[in-house]
A and B are shown apart, each in its own frame.
Chain A
Amino acid sequence: MPALLTVRNLTIRFGGITALNDVSFDVAEGAITGLIGPNGAGKTTCFNCITRLYEPSSGEVRFKGEDLLRLRPQQIAGRRIARTFQNLALFEGMTVLDNVLVGYHSRFPGGFGDWGAEEGAVGEAMDVLAKLEVAELAKRPVHGLPFGIRKRVELARAIMAKPELLLLDEPAAGISHGEVTALAATIRRIARDFSTTILMVEHHMQLVMSVSDHIVVLASGKKLADGSPAAVQANPAVIEAYLGAV
Chain B
Amino acid sequence: MARAIRVGIAVVVIAILPAIVPSFVVFDFIYVAAYAIAILGLIILTGMNGQISLGHGAFMALGGYVVAVLAHNLGWPYWVGVPLAALASGAFGLVIGAIALRLAGVYLALATFSLAVATPSFLKHYKSITGGFGGLSLDAVKAPAGLPTSGQQWLYYVAWAIAGAAFLASALIVRGKFGRALRALRDNPIAAISFGVNPYSYKTLAFGWSAVLSGIAGAFLAMTTAYVSPDTFTFALSITLLIGAVLGGMMTFWGALVGAIVIEFLPLVAQQVNAGAPSVVYGVTLILMMLFVPDGIVGGLQRLTRRLVRRVPSPTAFEPSVPAAASMAVDQPTRE
Contact = CB atoms under 8 A, between A and B. Distances in A.
Given A77-B195, A87-B324, A144 B318 contact: yes
A42 to B, nearest CB: 15
B315 A144 contact: yes
Interface in A53-105: 53-55, 72-78, 82-83, 85, 87-94, 98, 101-103, 105
Q: Which of A54, A77, A92 has the most CB of B within 10 A?
A: A92
B187 A93 contact: yes
Interface stretch (A26-34, A108-116, A198-206, A214-222): A108-116
A103 B196 CA distance: 8
Contacts of A92: 187-188, 321, 323-324
B254 to A, nearest CB: 18
Nearest to A76: B194
A143 B315 CA distance: 7
Given A87-B324, A93-B183, A143-B318, A53 B190 contact: yes
B309 to A, nearest CB: 17
B334 A72 contact: yes
A48 interface: yes
B198 interface: yes
A51 interface: yes
Contact of B195 (A53, A143, A161): A161
Nearest to A98: B180
Interface in A96-155: 98, 101-103, 105-106, 108, 112-114, 117-118, 140-141, 143-145
A82 B195 contact: yes
Given A108-B177, A112-B178, A118-B177, A75 B183 contact: no
Q: Which of A91, A94, A101 has the most CB of B within 10 A?
A: A91
Contacts of B198: 74
A157 interface: yes
Q: Which of A114, A143, A145 has the most CB of B within 10 A?
A: A143
A98 B188 contact: no
Interface stretch (B96-104, B154-162, B265-273, B325-333): B325-333
Q: Is the interface of B mostly helix, strand, loop or mixed?
A: helix
Contacts of B333: 53, 73
Contacts of A103: 195
Nearest to A94: B183
Contact of B177 (A54, A72, A112, A161): A112
Contact of B321 (A85, A112, A144): A144
Contacts of A141: 315
B328 A89 contact: yes
Contact of B188 (A89, A106, A144, A145): A89
Contacts of B317: 144
A114 B177 contact: yes
Given A90-B324, A94-B187, A112-B177, A102 B319 contact: no
A98 B197 CA distance: 14
Contacts of B199: 74
Q: Which of A48, A88, A92, A102 has the most CB of B within 10 A?
A: A102
Nearest to B179: A98
Given A74-B196, A103-B195, A144-B317, 9 more contacts: A85-B328, A87-B328, A89-B324, A92-B323, A94-B180, A102-B197, A105-B177, A112-B205, A144-B319
Interface of A: 48, 51, 53-55, 72-78, 82-83, 85, 87-94, 98, 101-103, 105-106, 108, 112-114, 117-118, 140-141, 143-145, 157, 161
25 contacts: A51-B194, A73-B334, A76-B196, A77-B194, A87-B324, A89-B191, A89-B324, A90-B187, A92-B324, A93-B186, A94-B183, A94-B184, A98-B180, A98-B183, A102-B184, A106-B196, A112-B178, A113-B177, A114-B176, A114-B178, A140-B315, A143-B315, A144-B317, A145-B318, A157-B195
